[in-house]
Amino acid sequence: MRYRRPYIVFPRKLHSGKVIFYYQTYDDRDQRTAPRSTGQTTKTAALAFVARLHKEGVLNPPHDPLFQDWAAEWWVWDRCSYLKAKLAHGGHVSRGYADVRRWVLQKHVVPNLGNMRLSKIGPAEIEQLLLSKLDEGLSPQSVNHLRTMLATMFGEAVRLGQLQQNPVTATRRILDAPKRREAFTQQEAAALLDDRRIPELWKGDIVAYTASLLAATGGLRLGEIMALRPENLRGEWISVESSWDEKYGLKSTKTGKSRIVPLSIKAAEYLASLTMRPFLFGGERPLSKIHFRQVLYRAMERIGISEDDRRRRNLCFHSWRHLYNTALRGRIPDAKLRALTGHQTEEMTERYTHFRPEDFTDVHETLEIVFGRN
């Protein structure tokens, strides 16, 4: 029987044009393992390098697990090593985010890739998975989110030396034209926020009305509004320090940073009327997101925005934030606007942490011009 070396050596041309020799061995099923770099630029040097590894008994790569075994603890809050390391190094991730990623992994990835060896999952397998999910009805945006999640996971495997390269980087994003979300027009906003029409449009729901008023005049996200407590009120200011997760309760804001936001006179007055409860927008706990959305949608219908029109324009509670950004853009410096909305990158967050309440006098004046009392 002809002798076969337990390895093969071959060249690979890098993007820089440099040639590096790689080697492969054979696993327990006589299948070739993932390529591993020798770091050598000539075949003679590469063969000598691999022969030395073979002699020292360290030729074969570490155990090559099935994807389902390797991913068993990925995105599990108390057990995922990636999440633990990210948080330990000052990264920001919420339990809700981890839960969603875990669900996506179990629902869409493990059934397709679970029985494959980690090293055998290449760009072709990833791309086939993504296209199959598109065929199953997932939106292009959802498929691209799935791709990003896999890039994170395989990237961590590369960082830890479990893989030589990330197979996701060679795949392409799905063409995605996200549905455009419109802001309310000034006329629509004026009608909805006219407090004389609370009995008619909002059916007397002061809490839901005030939530929309605060979103329009303060640019807060709904979760940030739900998390507000009396101690967050500072007279003409509000301190945005938390967000509300309906499964886990209070959590940090989306950026992981707190911020101060000036209030219009009207918003300050209505917020002051809610301070007798632990959570301003509820009681012992906030009202549900569904409540705020449904009350707003019914108010929209009463001013003539039909359900079909609302869906076509993609109007929702978050549209108040778009209105806030649009109304202030160009009236105050962009740096201040980013500091108010929390839209800044981490670099921008650090750069503008020096803002103090007295720096926002012009914002108060602008809010009264744009959103002042009816």
pLDDT digits (tens, 9 = 90+) for 202-234: 999 999 999 999 999 999 999 999 999 999 998
Burial of 102: CB neighbours in 10 Å, binned 0-12, 13-18, 19+: middle
181 inside domain: no
27 and 155 in a single domain? The answer is no
276 inside domain: yes
85 and 230 in a single domain? The answer is no
126 and 229 in a single domain? The answer is no
224 and 165 in a single domain? The answer is no
DSSP reduced 3-state for 21 = strand
Per the structure, the count of domains in the chain is 3
279 and 313 in a single domain? The answer is yes
Report, as an integer, the average pLDDT of 165-176.
90
134 and 237 in a single domain? The answer is no
- State the residue for tokens 């000539």: 42
155 and 295 in a single domain? The answer is no
3 inside domain: no
pLDDT exceeds 70 at position 373: no
Residues 197, 207: Cα–Cα separation, whole Å: 14
62 inside domain: no
221 and 340 in a single domain? The answer is yes
pLDDT exceeds 50 at position 46: yes
Predicted pLDDT of residue 15: 65
Residue 49's domain spans which residues? 8-56
Report, as an integer, the average pLDDT of 232-261.
90
Q: Which of 170, 198, 231 is the last residue of a domain?
A: 170
Predicted pLDDT of residue 268: 92
pLDDT band at 263 (very low <50, low <70, confident <90, very high): very high
179 inside domain: no
Query: If we measure between CA atoms, which residue out of 179, 180, 183 comes closest to residue 317?
Result: 183
205 inside domain: yes
15 inside domain: yes
52 and 71 in a single domain? The answer is no
358 and 275 in a single domain? The answer is yes
Residues 238, 254: Cα–Cα separation, whole Å: 17
354 inside domain: yes
* Token reading at 110: 């493990």
113 and 251 in a single domain? The answer is no
Predicted pLDDT of residue 371: 74
Q: Which of 56, 77, 96 is the last residue of a domain?
A: 56
Contact 24, 36 (CB under 8 A): yes
Q: Which CATH number characterizes residue 295's domain? A: 1.10.443.10
Query: Taking the alpha carbons of 73, 74, 75, 81 in that order, is the dihedral positive or negative?
Result: positive
Report, as an integer, the average pLDDT of 36-60.
85
Residues 60, 374: Cα–Cα separation, whole Å: 76
Neighbouring C-beta atoms of residue 11, cutoff 10 Å: 13
Predicted pLDDT of residue 27: 74
Q: Which of 109, 141, 170 is the last residue of a domain?
A: 170
State the chain's mean pLDDT as an integer.
86
Identity of the highest mean pLDDT range in 73-77, 177-181, 275-279? 73-77
- State the residue for tokens 């201040």: 336
74 and 153 in a single domain? The answer is yes
Predicted pLDDT of residue 3: 65
Predicted pLDDT of residue 344: 55
Query: If we measure between CA atoms, which residue out of 311, 312, 313, 339 comes closest to residue 325?
Result: 339
Q: Which CATH number characterizes residue 26's domain? A: 3.30.160
Residues 71, 366: Cα–Cα separation, whole Å: 51
Q: What is the pLDDT of residues 323-370, one digit of tens each?
A: 888 888 778 877 788 888 876 543 432 332 334 565 566 777 777 777
